[in-house]
Structure 1
Amino acid sequence: MTSQASRRRDTAVIFQRMGRVRLFAVFMRPTAQYDVETERGRELMLDHLDWLLDLEDEGRLFAGGPFRADRDKDEEQPGCSASEGPVIDAGGVFVIGAESVEEARLIAAREPFLRAGWRTCTVRTWLLNEGRAVPVGRQVSEDFHGADPTLGTASWERVDETGKGA
Structure 2
Amino acid sequence: MSVPKVTKQDVLNASSEMLNKDLYVVFTKPENGMKAVMENLEEHLKFQVSLEKNGVMFGAGPFWEDNEIDWNGEGMVIIRANSLDHAKQIAASDPMHQSGARNFTVRPWLLNEGNIQVSLDYSTGKFKLK
Instruction: Give the TM-score, by structure 2 length.
Output: 0.69
Question: Equivalent of 1:104, from 83, 87, 90?
Answer: 87
Q: 132, 143, 164: which one pairs with 2:115?
A: 132
**Identity, % of aligned pairs?**
35
Looking at both structures, which has the greater relative contact order when contacts are Cα pairs under 8 Å and sequence separation is at least 6? 1
Residue 63 of structure 2 corresponds to 67
Tell me the C-alpha RMSD between the 2 structures. Answer: 2.5
**Structure-2 residue corresponding to 1:91:** 74
Looking at structure 2, the residues matched to 37 and 68 of structure 1 have their Cα atoms a distance apart, in angstroms, of 15
**Could you give the per-residue CA deviations for residues 25-46 of structure 1, whole angstroms, max 9, x where no partner exists?**
00001011531686xx1xx111
User: Residue 56 of structure 1: CA displacement?
Assistant: 0.3
Cα distance in structure 2, aligned partners of 1:45 and 1:110: 14
TM-score (norm 1): 0.55
Contact persistence 1:33–1:117 (CA under 8 A): no
Supply the distance in 1 between the matched residues of 2:83 and 2:67 (Cα, whole angstroms): 34
Deviation per CA, 1:143-163: give whole Å up to 9, x if none: xxxxxxxxxxxxxxxxxxxxx
Aligned to 1:23: 23
Distance 1:123 1:113, change over 3 A: same
| Partner SS for 1:130 | coil
> How many residue pairs get matched?
101
Greater Cα radius of gyration, structure 1 or 2: 1
CA distance change for structure 1 residues 34 and 130 in 2, over 3 Å: closer, same or farther? same
Name structure 1 gaps, 5 residues minimum. 1-11, 74-89, 134-166
